[in-house]
Chain A
C-alpha cells in the first residue's frame, strides 16, 4: 500500500499531519488526520487555586486566549455560586465581541481569502494575504491591519493585556470603564460594523460572482451532512457569550437543547492510539466511526453549525445577512426555520455573517447606558464546589469544568476545546477531499494539494491557530511512497 504523508499541515500546539494510504489500484484507502502533541493542562492545573484558571488556561491558545479566559471566568461564577452584576457580564461580552471581530477578520482575509480571491490554483507565491492585498488594493490591506490593531487596543483596554488577558474574576471583572474609554469602544464598534458590511460585499462580488467558486462550494467533495451545534439565547438566536447549547440534526430538526452544565450527559469522547487528541460525539447517537448522517454521532461546532443550530441572529443587519445566506444557498424554511446548509466551504460566508453580528453586538453594548457602571464585582460568600462554564469560541463550543476542595483548590479539571469538537468532521473532510481528488493515475499537482487543504481550512482549525493570522500559507508537503516506503514523488509549496 502506498502512503502519502502531509507533514506538517498546520498546528495545534505544534503540528498536524495527514497520512493518506493508497490501495493497490491507486485510490485513497484511508486518510488519517494526526495531532502529534499534548501539553496536559487538565492534569497540571490540579492543585492550583481555581480563580487563577482564567490566567492559566488562556495559555492553552495564544490565538483565542479570550475564549478560554471568558469560559474559565464563567466557570468560576458557577463554581463559587455567584451571579456577576449586569455590567460585568456586559463588559465581558463587549470584550469578547471585539475579540470575535479581530479573529474572524484575520481568518477570512489571511487564511481563507487567498483561496477565493486568488483562486485555489493560483501560484502559491501569490496565494497569500500579500497576493490578496495586491489584487484588491493596498487600501483594503490597511483596513484589515487596522481592524486587528483597533480591536486589540480594545481587548487590552478592557482585559489588561493584548494577548493573555487578566481581568476575569468569579463574580465579575477587575476593571470598570470610564466615559472616555466607552467612547473609544463605540468608535471602534462603528468602524467594525462598516468593515463587516464591506467584507460581506467583497465576498458577494469576488466569490458569489464567480460561477467556478460557487460550483466548488456546492460540490459533493466539500459537503458533509452532520449534526450542528451552537449556543442560542431565549429566542433561539445565536449567541457567543451565553445561552443554551442547541444541536439540530442534518435535516434541521432540534435534537438537543441543554444547559452547558449538562454537557457530559450529551457529549462523549472517543480515543485512538495514533493521535493525542480525542474525538467528541453525541452520546445519545453513539460513535459509529468517521461517518456522515443522522445515524452517526459526529457533530460540527463552527460558524456554519452555529447558524444552522440557531433560528436567526439577534441584531438586524446580521439577520438580513443570515437570511440572504440561506436563501442564496437554496435552503428552504421548514417549520419556521431554514434547513441546515452542509457545504463546508460556506463556513467562510457564515463567518462573515458572525463578524457582522459581533460588530453590531459590540456597538449595542458600547452604547448601553449601564456599561460605565463602576460596580463590576459581586462579593463571594459561598464555598466553591463544582462548576461548568462555556462560550462559543470562534472555532466551536468551548467547555470548562472544574472541581475543587472547600478552599477552592482544584481537584479535577475537564476541558472540551473548540476545535476538538470538530476533530472527527475535519478528519472526514480531509479523507473525502483526498478520495475525491486523488484517484488512480492522478497527477498530484500543487493546486490539488491546496484543495485538500481547503477541506480543513474551512474549520479554521486551532491546529492552525497562528497560521490564520498572517500572510499565510499552510505548510504542506505530500510525499508519495511505494509499498516498500521508497519515495516516488514529492511536492511542496513555497512562498517567497
Chain B
C-alpha cells in the first residue's frame, strides 16, 4: 500500500514551527518512514508547479504555518486547500495571526513610512518604496503585493484542524504525528483544535493560587516575583486564565507571565476572557465604599495596565472580535 502523502508549507512565518517540528528529535525519522513527502520547501525540492500538477485532494496531510500577509501567501493557501484532504493550521500565525498580526493595529502606509521613509538609517533612496512591478534596465521584476490586513488561514480557506502554539511544543507535535501514524482516528474535522489541552494554562501551572486580590499591576521589570506563587495574584498580567493549556505552563515556571501563545479556549475571545479574569483579582475597595468609589478603585488599578490590546491580543488579534482597528479596503 502506498504511504500517505505529507506536505508542510510556510506562509508569513518565522520558521519556528519548522524548528519545533525538528525538536521532536529522532522521531523525525518516523515521519520520514511513515509518509511520502510531496511538498515541503524546507526539506524537499518540490515546486509550486509540482503541487499544481497533483490531482485535487492528492495530499493526505498538509501542515500550513504562517499567516496570510501577501498575495503569494493567499495563492498558496487556495492551492494547498484544493490539493489537500486534510489541511491543518499549524501554529499561532496560521491559527490566529500571532505577533505579526499586531500589524492590524496599524496600516501599510505607516509601516512603509517607518521602515523606509522615516527610518534612521535609510539613505537618500528612502522614498524608493517596494513596488509590485519594477522596471530595471534588463526587464521587469514583480514582487508579491503586501496586504493591508493580516489574516489567519481559516479566514481565507476552510481549515480541518488547528494545532495551536507559538510554536506548538514538540511533544504535542510528536503526539499528533504518532496518533496519525498509528491510525488513531482524529475527531471530526471542521476547524477543531488538536495537539493541545481543553482547559486553561492555570490548570497545568504548578504555581500556588491563593485567591489574593491585587491593588495594582506591575510591569515585569518592576517586580521580582515570589517563587511558587501565582504571577497574576502578584500583579503580573499572566495570560494563563485566558489561554488554552498544552504547553505545560513553561513560562510561569521561569518567573515570566504566560503570553497567551496557545490562544483562547473554545468559544472564547482571549481578551474578553482575560478582562473577566482580571476583574476577579482586582481589589474593588472595601465593603464600606459605595459603588462609585469601588468603580473608581477598579479604574485606578486598570490604569496601571500597560498596552491592554498588545497584551491581551498579542497572538490572537487577527482572529479576535477586534481583528483590526481600521477596516481595510475590500479585497485586501
Contacts and interface: CB of A to CB of B under 8 A. Distances in A.
A61 interface: yes
A90 interface: no
A433 B73 CA distance: 30
A477 B224 CA distance: 54
Given A42-B115, A48-B310, A280-B121, A171 B18 contact: no
A427 to B, nearest CB: 13
A377 B115 contact: no
Interface stretch (A264-272, A306-314, A365-373): A264-272
A220 interface: no
Given A60-B14, A273-B134, A470-B28, A37 B111 contact: no
13 contacts: A40-B114, A44-B103, A49-B311, A52-B311, A59-B100, A62-B13, A62-B20, A163-B19, A169-B221, A174-B220, A264-B121, A476-B45, A477-B47
A252 B28 CA distance: 45
Contacts of A36: 70, 72, 143-144
Give the interface centre of A47, A287, A414, A466 by most chain B CB atoms within 10 Å. A466
Nearest to B253: A160
B15 interface: yes
A65 B167 CA distance: 12
Nearest to B220: A51
Contacts of B211: none
B99 interface: yes
Interface of B: 10-20, 22-23, 25-26, 28, 32, 41-47, 49-50, 66, 69-70, 72-73, 98-100, 102-103, 105-106, 108, 110-111, 114-116, 119-123, 125-126, 128-131, 134, 136-139, 141, 143-144, 146, 166-167, 169-170, 219-222, 224, 250-251, 253-256, 259, 261, 306-307, 310-311, 314
B114 A42 contact: yes
A177 B129 CA distance: 48
Contact of A278 (B22, B122, B251): B122
B251 A30 contact: no
Interface stretch (A8-16, A236-244, A331-339): A8-16
B19 A275 contact: no
Contacts of B123: 268-271, 283, 287
Nearest to B247: A161
A236 B125 CA distance: 35
Contact of A63 (B19, B43, B139, B220): B19
Contact of B12 (A39, A55, A472, A476): A39
The 9 closest A-B pairs by CB, nearest first: A62-B16, A21-B138, A466-B15, A160-B254, A466-B18, A62-B14, A40-B111, A274-B134, A62-B15
Interface stretch (A145-153, A321-329, A351-359, A436-444): A145-153
A441 to B, nearest CB: 20
A372 to B, nearest CB: 16
Given A11-B10, A44-B105, A470-B42, 9 more contacts: A30-B137, A38-B115, A38-B146, A43-B114, A60-B14, A61-B16, A160-B254, A166-B259, A167-B255
B130 A8 contact: no
Contacts of B14: 13, 59-63, 65, 465
A59 B114 contact: no
Given A171-B221, A492-B47, A14 B72 contact: yes
A51 B221 contact: yes
Interface of A: 1, 3, 8, 10-11, 13-15, 19, 21, 29-30, 32, 34, 36-49, 51-52, 55-56, 59-63, 65, 76, 80, 124, 130, 142, 145, 148-149, 152, 156, 159-164, 166-167, 169-171, 174-175, 263-264, 267-276, 278, 280, 283, 287, 377, 380, 401, 407-409, 412-414, 416, 465-467, 469-477, 492-495
Given A43-B110, A62-B15, A492-B45, A37 B100 contact: no
Given A14-B72, A59-B14, A59-B98, A166 B45 contact: no
Give the interface centre of B114, B170, B220, B221 by most chain A CB atoms within 10 Å. B221
A160 B28 CA distance: 23
Given A30-B137, A268-B121, A466-B19, A472 B25 contact: no
B45 A43 contact: no
Contacts of B250: 156, 160-161, 166
Contact of A43 (B115, B139, B224): B115
Contact of B41 (A8, A21, A174): A8
Contact of A13 (B12, B20, B44, B221): B12
Contact of A174 (B32, B47, B137, B255): B255
Given A63-B15, A171-B221, A269-B119, A44 B100 contact: yes
B79 to A, nearest CB: 14
Contacts of B110: 43
Given A34-B141, A409-B307, A43 B103 contact: yes
Contacts of B120: 264, 401, 414
B306 A409 contact: yes
B256 to A, nearest CB: 4
Contacts of A142: 26
Contacts of A467: 41-42
Contacts of A477: 47, 49
B245 to A, nearest CB: 15
